[in-house]
Amino acid sequence: MQVLLKSSDRAADFHCEVCGEGFALFCERKTEQEQAEVLAMVRSAIHSHHSDDAPGHAHPRSGFLIPAWSGPIEFSGAALLSNAPVWALR
């Protein structure tokens, strides 16, 4: 399952456990088990942004996908299936 994340102070569904930055999450969430799997995947990926090799701001400012995808973000499954708003795609 793919998740689109966008840094957000107002519409945060998830907060980084290291720095507290908030993110809006967009994905197709069906069952509670799938939601738990998504959150575990997001938690791990967000935490990895704080590696020693990442100078400056740890998280991308623009929308990003977990797992990463090489295509245009607006055509990702997460964006299409969640009806992500335009502000999340930038």
* Average pLDDT per 10 consecutive residues for the chain, totaling 90 residues: 88 90 86 87 90 72 88 89 87
Please report the pLDDT score of residue 53 as a whole number.
Answer: 62
Please report the pLDDT score of residue 70 as a whole number.
Answer: 86
**Domain housing 63:** 3-89
Please report the pLDDT score of residue 21 as a whole number.
Answer: 93
* Among 29, 22, 2, 6, CA closest to 88: 6
The edge-to-edge listing of strands for the beta sheet with 22-26 is 14-15, 22-26, 3-7, 64-66
Total structural domains within the chain: 1
Please report the pLDDT score of residue 43 as a whole number.
Answer: 93
